[in-house]
Amino acid sequence: MIAINPVDLPPRDAYRLMTSVIVPRPIAWVSTIGNDGSRNLAPFSFFNGIGGNPPTLMISVGLRKGQPKDTLRNVQENGEFVVNMVSEDLGPQMNLTAGEYDYEVDEFALAGLTAAPCDLVKPPRVAEAGVAMECRASQLVQVTDTTYTVIFGRILRFHIREGLLRPDGLIDANALRPLARLGGDQYATLSPTFDMPRPS
């Protein structure tokens, strides 16, 4: 076995190593809106669900050149965001929205995506996404010794494309075809799923 002390690595290499170990990661495609009306859309793979009742998720957003990324700025302004799920066919558009654009740039327009209105929050959802979750931030936590802020959000509304919700109340992952992020520029798609009932 190779033992590596991350402290001995340049920060970028420690980041690259970690993100190639913790795989596959789901991708939150996060839409937000500034108080001036600027729309924003960007992907985040430091993303997961963290509790079920009420359904709560998290994304972790780093700084860019010492300043909050647009997503964090908008959530700091009004606490609202939408997590859109990225399916395989939306990979190229998702990637386009990861560019470091000026605050005023509308990534919906840039990537040729349709902004659909939400029910309870101001940011629009991505109409092309099979599932979107309207969220309200419940906590913003600046993580000690890092440049990251974790945004915890309560899910207020699910939007699910017809045909994706199975009769048992689960999303049909084989129909959703989620894209996952690996290390560097690598991505993965879902291989055939299988069931493994838990011991009673």
Ligand X SMILES: Cc1cc2nc3c(=O)[nH]c(=O)nc-3n(C[C@H](O)[C@H](O)[C@H](O)COP(=O)(O)O)c2cc1C
* Residues within the interface to ligand X (CB under 6 A): 27, 40, 42-46, 60-62, 64, 69-71, 95, 98, 100, 181
Q: In sequence order, which ranges of 38-179 are alpha helices (DSSP H)?
A: 70-78, 91-96, 107-110, 173-176
Distance, in Å, from the CA atom of 34 to the CA atom of 28, rounded to the nearest integer, reads 19
Q: Decide whether 46 or 152 has the Cβ nearer to ligand X.
A: 46
Distance, in Å, from the CA atom of 105 to the CA atom of 180, rounded to the nearest integer, reads 26
Shortest distance in whole angstroms from residue 32 CB to ligand X:
8
Element at 154 (helix H, strand E): strand 149-160
Work out the burial of residue 115: count CB atoms within 10 Å of its CB; fewer than 13 is exposed, 13-18 middle, 19 or more buried.
middle
Q: Could you tell me the CA-to-CA distances from 24 to 91, 116, 144, 189 in Å, in that order?
A: 15, 29, 25, 9
Q: CA-based angle 125:88:117, to the nearest 5? A: 10
Q: Decide whether 136 or 165 has the Cβ nearer to ligand X.
A: 136
Element at 167 (helix H, strand E): none
Shortest distance in whole angstroms from residue 81 CB to ligand X:
10
Q: Decide whether 65 or 198 has the Cβ nearer to ligand X.
A: 65
Shortest distance in whole angstroms from residue 4 CB to ligand X:
22
Q: CA-based angle 20:21:22, to the nearest 5? A: 100
Shortest distance in whole angstroms from residue 143 CB to ligand X:
12
Q: Decide whether 138 or 147 has the Cβ nearer to ligand X.
A: 147
- Tokens linked to 197: 């009932």
Shortest distance in whole angstroms from residue 136 CB to ligand X:
18
Q: Decide whether 98 or 164 has the Cβ nearer to ligand X.
A: 98
Shortest distance in whole angstroms from residue 62 CB to ligand X:
4
Task: Name the pairing type of β-strands 80-85 and 115-116.
Answer: unpaired
Q: Decide whether 89 or 163 has the Cβ nearer to ligand X.
A: 89
